[in-house]
């Protein structure tokens, strides 16, 4: 039997892409590079990066060739994956009205991810952007407290979609809204992943310029769930200048930059860069070391988006439900305003 491309395509029409229910040939996933030599066949599947179905589609394609043409075809290990940026249309694209989705991450806990997420959301909103904020920290959701909305409970609309709470002009959802503070639920693996998926895909986020996700510390399943559910446009990594925090920040950077995840790092933020007492605003004490994150950014060729000092009022405003960036005076709010004015944010919207 002589093999020819049409025969291969006919066999591949039996493979369906689960996202759309359509076959991979009709969906345009089979690249135009079918090579046949005797009984050996090679070709590529065009699959978007992060697609969790990559492996199974390759397997299914090999199997379809053997089933519908014959087991004499030498195909095992010959199907390669060509990564494409193009979105494969799925029934419903989550967050389709959102222009830019940014994850705020850190390797280490307690370095100020939530503080940065909350204040960056406010600073971007002050620049005139429409902003949404998702608190995906299953271990310690803190956004509701920082926005003074701990006692609110989002409701669903007639279509069963969750309606985010709006505060200071920002649409907010938190995993914290769905646990009872008293009976602290421990979110485990699949349960947490499903809850986060639901907050991403079954909520009325609407049209937004920026969607900011406050991630849990480290590199957990939740990170993977988010990357597999939506296409992140970028990540911001927060760290203090302290050695131990930097080591973890590097792990965080590597997690986003590895081939499988491939999320661009928009920049680093150095939090707790120095201590400035309220009564001595000119003084700077480098409690956790000087410029650790700045140096890391230089080494890695990543932008340093800002250095935020330690000031008592950050902590107080976090606890009082009014993020510090709402005040228009003071070194911290101007530090966050400067982050939001960084051209990277305007650029990314243009893409
Ligand atoms: N620059 C700062 N100056 C003073 N206090 C700060 C600063 N940044 C953060 N904090 C305080 O440090 C604590 C931890 O900050 P935050 O909750 O933002 O960290 P996190 O990385 O989100 O922590 P977690 O890993 O627990 O989610 C909070 O009480 C916060 O108010
Ligand atoms: Mg936090």
* CA–CA gap between residue 342 and residue 351 (Å, rounded): 16
Placement of tokens 């994150």 in the chain: 293
Residues of the chain with pLDDT below 70 are: 19, 85-92, 180-189
331-341 helix and 113-126 helix, angle to the nearest 10 degrees? 70
Domain boundary at 55, 83, 111, which? 83
Asked whether residue 63 falls in the same domain as residue 103, the answer is no
Q: What is the pLDDT of residue 43?
A: 94
Same domain, residue pair 190 and 260: yes
Q: Which residues, 6+ apart, have CB-to-CB distance to 171 below 8 Å?
A: 131, 132, 133, 164, 165, 205, 206, 208
Q: What is the pLDDT of residues 23-40, one digit of tens each?
A: 899 888 998 889 999 999
The burial of 269, by beta-carbon neighbours within 10 Å (0-12 exposed, 13-18 middle, 19 or more buried), is given as buried
Query: Residues near 8 by Cβ (< 8 Å), separated by ≥ 6?
Result: 34, 36, 41, 43, 65, 69
Looking at the structure, tell me whether residues 199 and 78 fall in a common domain: no
Name the strands in the sheet holding 304-310, side by side, starting at the edge strand that comes first in the sequence. 165-167, 170-174, 131-135, 208-214, 98-105, 234-239, 265-275, 304-310
Task: Indicate whether 56 and 205 sit together in one domain.
Answer: no
Ligand 2 midpoint to CA 87 (Å): 31
Helix (H) or strand (E) holding 332: helix 331-341
My answer on whether 70 and 144 are in the same domain is no
Pairing of strands 165-167, 170-174: antiparallel
Distance CA 76, CA 147 (A): 55
**Range(s) of the domain holding residue 16:** 5-83
Q: How far apart are CA 17 and CA 269, in angstroms?
A: 40
Q: Residues 174, 292: one domain?
A: yes
Burial of 180 by CB count in 10 Å (0-12 exposed, 13-18 middle, 19+ buried)? exposed
- Count of CB atoms situated within 10 Å of the CB of 90: 12
Tell whether 107 and 184 lie within a shared domain. Answer: yes
Within-domain flag for 136: yes
User: How does the average pLDDT of the chain come out, rounded?
Assistant: 89
Question: Candidates 112, 242, 269: which one to mutate for ligand 1, based on the most atoms within 8 Å of Cβ?
Answer: 112
Residue 309 CA: nearest ligand 1 atom is: 1
Predicted TM-score (pTM) of the model is 0.75
Domain containing residue 267: CATH number = 3.40.50.300
Which ligand approaches the C-alpha of residue 110 most closely?
1
Q: 123 is written with which tokens?
A: 């600073």
Query: What is the domain count for the chain?
Result: 2
Do 43 and 150 lie in one domain? The reply is no
Closest ligand 1 atom to Cα of 115: 18
- Please report, for the domain that includes residue 76, its CATH number: 3.30.300.130
Residue of 83, 98, 105, 47 lying closest to 351 (CA atoms):
98
> Which of residues 83, 106, 138 is at a domain's end?
83
Within a domain: 90: no
114 domain residue, yes or no: yes
Same structural domain, 116 and 140: yes
Residue 93 lies in a domain: no
Statement to judge: residues 78 and 217 lie in one domain = no
Query: Could you tell me if residue 88 is inside a domain?
Result: no
Q: Say whether both 70 and 126 belong to one domain.
A: no
Q: Which of 41, 59, 83 is the last residue of a domain?
A: 83
Q: What pLDDT is attached to residue 181?
A: 59
pLDDT at 91: 35
Instruction: Indicate if 48 and 114 belong to the same structural domain.
Output: no
In a mutational test of the pocket of ligand 1, which residue from 103, 104, 105, 110 has the highest number of ligand atoms less than 8 Å from its CB? 110
Residue 133 maps to a domain? yes
**CA 178 to ligand 2 center in whole angstroms:** 16
């Amino acid at each position: 039997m002589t093999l020819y491309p049409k025969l291969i395509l006919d066999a591949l029409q039996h493979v369906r892409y689960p996202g759309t229910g359509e076959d991979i040939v009709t969906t345009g996933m089979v690249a135009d590079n079918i090579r046949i030599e005797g009984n050996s066949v090679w070709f590529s599947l065009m699959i978007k990066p992060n697609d969790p179905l990559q492996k199974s589609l390759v397997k299914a394609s090999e199997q379809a060739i053997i089933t519908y043409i014959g087991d004499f075809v030498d195909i095992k290990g010959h199907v390669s994956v060509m990564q494409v940026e193009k979105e494969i249309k799925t029934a419903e694209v989550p967050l389709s009205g959102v222009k830019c989705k940014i994850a705020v991450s850190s390797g280490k806990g307690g370095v100020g991810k939530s503080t940065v997420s909350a204040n960056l959301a406010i600073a971007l909103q002050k620049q005139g952007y429409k902003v949404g904020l998702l608190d995906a920290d299953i271990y310690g959701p803190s956004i509701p407290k920082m926005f003074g909305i701990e006692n609110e409970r989002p409701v669903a609309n007639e279509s069963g979609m969750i309606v985010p709470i709006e505060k200071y002009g920002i649409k907010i959802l938190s995993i914290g809204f769905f646990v009872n503070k008293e009976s602290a639920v421990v979110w485990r693996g699949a349960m947490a992943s499903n809850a986060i998926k639901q907050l991403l895909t079954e909520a009325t986020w609407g049209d937004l310029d920026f969607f900011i996700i406050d991630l849990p510390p480290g590199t957990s399943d939740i990170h993977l769930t988010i990357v597999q559910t939506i296409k992140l446009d970028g990540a911001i990594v927060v760290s203090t200048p302290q050695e131990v925090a930097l080591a973890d920040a590097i792990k965080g950077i590597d997690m986003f930059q590895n081939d499988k995840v491939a999320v661009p790092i928009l920049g680093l933020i150095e939090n707790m860069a120095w201590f400035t007492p309220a009564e001595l605003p000119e003084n700077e004490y480098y409690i956790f070391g000087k410029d650790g994150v700045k140096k890391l950014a230089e080494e890695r060729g990543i932008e340093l988006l800002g250095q935020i000092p330690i000031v008592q009022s950050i902590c107080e405003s976090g606890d009082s439900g009014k993020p510090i960036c709402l005040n228009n005076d003071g070194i911290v709010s101007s530090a966050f305003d400067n982050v939001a004015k960084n051209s990277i944010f305007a650029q990314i919207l243009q893409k």
